[in-house]
Amino acid sequence: MFRNSKLSRYRVEKVAECFCIDIEASKAALLLKLNRKTVNRYFLAFRRLIHARQLQEKALFVGVVEADESYFGPNRMRGRPGPRKKGHGTSKQPVFGIYERQGRVYTEIVPNASAKVLRPIIKGKVSIESVLHTDAWRGYSGLVDVGFDKHVRINKSKSFARGNVHINGIEAFWSFTKRRLAKFNGVKKNFELHLKECEWRYNKTHSQLLADLRAMIRSNPDLMV
């Protein structure tokens, strides 16, 4: 168990269960009769474990793989009147994502969604034998020239799917992530930790999450809280 922990193993287990069920720290504190700051410290420790674990994943994405970018942040910024903008050209934080159908998700905070930024990430994370699905954004142009000869694109202005050609999986992940982060008022602090947590949570049951978190805790007994 965590070094210098003032909670018993049983109590830490209960905090971990609340975390995996995705109960907010304030509610977990009331339920477990603990100080909210104590619960927050453990939740932050869990997120750091998950973040480190997700970054250690080196296996390339294979099979049918979807790639897409999304934008996080408020629709409007204080002091900047005008219509709401979506996607490219906003002041929101761009995030790039890769989804292996029926498998893993990878996300990375990026400065922009240009080909110069996205292409090296795709080359580093996706096997060239994969069938790569993207939308028609120009940031995905030229991937065939660097080895992705199975790159297929969907023009979402005309259709969201063309048979099996779609990016519905990664878009479902973006929806899941934005719904989760809305509970934390958008998460201005520790955004990357929450993003990697969403990677870890996606498409897993509560029992799978708890078993995985227990294994991480056992493997990192010296983590400070």
- Please state, in angstroms and rounded to a whole number, the distance separating the CA atoms of residues 216 and 225: 15
Would the pTM count as exceeding 0.75?
A: yes
Domains and CATH numbers, the chain: 9-56+205-219 (no CATH), 64-74+90-182 (3.30.420.10)
Give the bridge partners for 93, in sequence order: 72
* pLDDT in the model for residue 84: 46
**Residue 71: both structure tokens together:** 């934008």
- Please state, in angstroms and rounded to a whole number, the distance separating the CA atoms of residues 127 and 65: 9
Tell how strand 131-135 and strand 93-100 pair up.
Answer: unpaired
* pLDDT in the model for residue 1: 55
* pLDDT at residue 77 is higher than 70: no
Which has the minimum average pLDDT: 16-25, 94-103, 186-195?
Answer: 186-195
Q: Report DSSP letters for 150-199, one per residue.
A: TEEEE-TTT-SEETTEE-HHHHHHHHHHHHHHHTTTT--SSHHHHHHHHH
**Residue 98: both structure tokens together:** 């890769």
Within 8 A by CB and 6+ apart from 103, the residues are: 61, 63
Residue 117, classed as helix, strand or coil, is helix
pLDDT in tens, 153-210: 998 777 677 788 999 999 999 999 999 998 877 666 889 999 999 999 999 999 999 9
